[in-house]
Amino acid sequence: MRCKVQQAETGSMSEVGRRIGVSPPTIRKMVNLGVFPVVMLGTRRRIPWAAVEEYLQSAKPVEATTGD
């Protein structure tokens, strides 16, 4: 049985790149490396927003260091 994915549940690679602050070539590399799962809608590759949220939650904030 095929699972129907609504377009609103997914974002294009450029939308996801803007959301996480990376360039289009970088988001394509991340998809090719398997950082994000891809859902095919017709001929378009879409990234589920749930995967983007999970990625953002797992990202560790960079702590500022002082040169003491």
What is the rounded end-to-end Cα distance, in angstroms, of the chain? 60
Tell me: the pLDDT tens digits for 5-49? 566 799 999 999 999 999 999 999 999 999 999 999 888 999 999
> How are strands ordered across the β-sheet holding 44-48?
10-12, 44-48, 39-41
Alpha helix positions (H), the chain: 13-20, 24-32, 49-58
51, 37 in Cβ contact below 8 A?
yes
How much is the pTM? 0.72
Residue 4: pLDDT over 90: no
